[in-house]
Amino acid sequence: MIEWFDDLKLGMRFVTPEKRITREDIVRFAREFDPQPFHTDEAAAEHTVLKGLAASGWHTAAFAMPLILATKPFGRHPVFGMGVNELRWLAPVRPGDVLHLEGEITELIPSKTRPQGIVWIKWIGTHRDYDKIDVKRVQHGD
């Protein structure tokens, strides 16, 4: 049980519950926050770089948050985000995907004056069928 900052250790791991993302979730979020055809329109999405409807990257990030909260990484203390480094969307999140995340503490920076500190956790989100995805199909660059 995590109570104090010192209870957290480098390499400590967290596994979130799974949750399914629906077509309705994806379209509703995108209409408000990311209204582009590959997020809002199933038919039009077929003809885009994503080759089908996929969640907005911001939706994927937000969707992850309650899963992370469910692991209570800091016990009863809040998960107060200061920032994110190297956020990457590596594969499309499709309607019906069942998502979960795994996290690992990569850095602990204790406060010099108070019994608290800054924790860096590397989170990786995947879905059950991830190994069936052709990531190259949606990667850019060369």
Please compute, for residue 23, the number of CA atoms within 13 A of its CA located in the half-sphere on the CB side: 6
Among 109, 124, 128, 137, the residue binding a second copy under the rule CB under 8 A is 109
Provide the token pair at 34.
């990311």
DSSP state, residue 15: E
**CB nearer to a second copy: pick between 49 and 98:** 49
Does position 126 interact with a second copy (CB under 8 A)? The reply is: no
Interface stretch with a second copy, choices 16-24, 60-68, 98-106, 126-134 (CB under 8 A): 60-68
Does position 124 interact with a second copy (CB under 8 A)? The reply is: no
Interface stretch with a second copy, choices 2-10, 12-20, 104-112, 129-137 (CB under 8 A): 104-112
Dist. CA 17–CA 67, nearest whole Å? 6
Sole residue written with tokens 């509703």: 28
Smallest gap from Cβ 40 to a second copy, in A, equals: 12
Between the alpha carbon of residue 3 and those of residues 79, 87, 122, 133, the distances in Å are 13, 28, 21, 39
Among 5, 26, 53, 59, the residue binding a second copy under the rule CB under 8 A is 59
Residue 107 sits at the vertex; the CA angle it makes with 101 and 112, to the nearest 5 degrees, is 135
Site residues (CB under 8 A) for a second copy, limited to 2-21: none
φ, ψ dihedrals at 87, nearest 5°: -70, 125
Rounded to the nearest 10°, the torsion over CA 42, 133, 86, 142 is -90
Does position 85 interact with a second copy (CB under 8 A)? The reply is: yes
Residue numbers of the site for a second copy (CB under 8 A)?
29, 32-38, 48-50, 56-59, 61-63, 65-66, 69, 78-89, 109, 111-114, 116-118, 140-142
